[in-house]
């Protein structure tokens, strides 16, 4: 074991503060990574404040962070994919059972026995896993990803969650050139959805409640922007969408978007509203429409996504902050006061 610098919360109401945590020494199959940047995901906030205590109670101290980009500093004797000095990334998973049908199919995100990057039982230490708000991490080679060298590293970090969460459903439901795709909500997830839909060649339409987001949506790659509160504007697009990605986590009317789907169209949720949302059956029956959900992607697809981003120069729009401003960032995140993701520069941790 060795000691690593980190920022943690000690309770649901405490602020982040500097600390040291124990990391395992690399085994034969492990990669040790110096963390250069770590994105802040909204789920970090939920976990830090124990807002998911019903199904995923937080174990304190908690070190969040599952959007990790860094440089390899040590590799185990059996590691074949990485060498010291390589750029590397880690997302939401650091292990699975590796034997279930989902893992064997490269769909590790659906494994019934995963090990998440933080706040999950750690078989190596006997405690819980600690995430990327730290100066280093040790992860099995299988769960480490290659980072294209041409991408800005600070802006690459959010791809490990926000990126793959929006890329995966678009790939699964066949978003390609000639398709009409809607993106509901222009936030951390939605802005990545716009970039991917545009890169896939789809006619991309952003739905927003904020008129002042129109220019930014167009800058990100949208072909059209629809104000979802404008019934006439919505009606113009009835029965015309092949696919709609819903990235809103607040309470909202799904039926309004179901009406916009063409025959066999799909509305896929990647946001997670706190309360169940009602759906009118007739809206689905007439047109054989579907409502679905999608989490992150598996390891092969996440690597595919990173390579796609390298080929198309796609990254997240980020505001880079020092780790010392993480508490302020959380408060701003609650107010949606960021365009569009925070990325922590972990070099700032060296001064602690």
Please write the tens of the pLDDT for every residue from 4-56. 999 999 999 999 999 999 999 999 999 999 999 999 999 999 999 999 888 89
What is the reported pLDDT for 204? 98
What is the reported pLDDT for 309? 98
What is the reported pLDDT for 218? 98
Sign of CA dihedral 75, 77, 79, 85: positive
**Global model pTM greater than 0.75:** yes
Mean pLDDT calculated for residue range 77-94 = 98
| Residue among 87, 88, 162, 104 nearest 343 (CA) | 162
Mean pLDDT calculated for residue range 233-240 = 96
Instruction: Return the CATH fold of 2-161+297-351.
Output: Quinone Oxidoreductase; Chain A, domain 1 (3.90.180)
Q: Which residue is it, tokens 């970039």?
A: 195
Every domain of the chain and the residues it spans:
2-161+297-351, 162-293
What is the reported pLDDT for 93? 98
Cβ-based neighbour number of residue 89 at 10 Å = 23
Distance between CA atoms of residues 276 and 264, nearest Å? 23
* pLDDT surpassing 90 at residue 127: yes
What is the reported pLDDT for 202? 98
Band of pLDDT at residue 274, cut at 50, 70 and 90: confident
Classify residue 29 by burial, with Cβ atoms within 10 Å: 0-12, 13-18, 19+: middle
Instruction: Return the CATH fold of 162-293.
Output: Rossmann fold (3.40.50)
Band of pLDDT at residue 273, cut at 50, 70 and 90: confident
């Amino acid at each position: 074991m060795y000691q690593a610098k980190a920022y943690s919360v000690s309770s649901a109401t405490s602020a982040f503060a500097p600390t040291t945590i124990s990391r395992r020494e690399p085994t034969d199959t492990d990669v040790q990574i110096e963390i250069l940047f770590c994105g802040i995901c909204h789920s970090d906030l939920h976990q830090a404040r124990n807002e998911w205590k019903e199904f995923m109670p937080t174990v304190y101290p908690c070190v969040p962070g599952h959007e990790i980009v860094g440089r390899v500093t040590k590799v185990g004797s059996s590691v074949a994919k990485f060498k010291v000095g390589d750029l590397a990334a880690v997302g939401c998973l650091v292990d699975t059972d590796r034997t279930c049908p989902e893992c064997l199919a490269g769909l590790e995100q659906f494994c019934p026995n995963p090990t998440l990057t933080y706040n999950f039982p750690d078989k190596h230490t006997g405690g819980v896993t600690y995430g990327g708000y730290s100066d280093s991490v040790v992860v099995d080679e299988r769960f480490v990803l290659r980072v294209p060298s041409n991408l800005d590293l600070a802006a690459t970090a959010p791809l490990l969650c926000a990126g793959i969460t929006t890329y995966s459903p678009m790939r699964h439901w066949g978003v390609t050139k000639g398709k009409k795709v809607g993106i509901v909500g222009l936030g951390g997830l939605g802005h990545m959805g716009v970039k991917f839909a545009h890169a896939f060649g789809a006619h991309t339409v952003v739905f927003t409640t904020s008129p002042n987001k129109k220019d930014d949506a167009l800058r990100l790659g949208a072909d059209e922007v629809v104000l979802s509160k404008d019934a006439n504007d919505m009606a113009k697009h009835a029965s015309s969408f092949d696919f709609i990605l819903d990235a809103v986590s607040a309470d909202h009317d799904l039926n309004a978007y179901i009406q916009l789907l063409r025959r066999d169209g799909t509305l896929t949720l990647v946001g997670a509203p706190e309360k169940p949302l009602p759906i009118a059956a007739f809206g689905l029956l007439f047109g054989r429409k579907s409502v679905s959900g999608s989490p992150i992607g598996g390891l092969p697809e996440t690597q595919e996504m990173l390579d796609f981003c390298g080929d198309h120069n796609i990254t997240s729009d980020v505001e880079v902050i020092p780790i010392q401003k993480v508490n302020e960032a959380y408060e701003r995140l609650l107010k949606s006061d960021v365009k569009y993701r925070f990325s922590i520069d972990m070099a700032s941790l060296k001064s602690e």
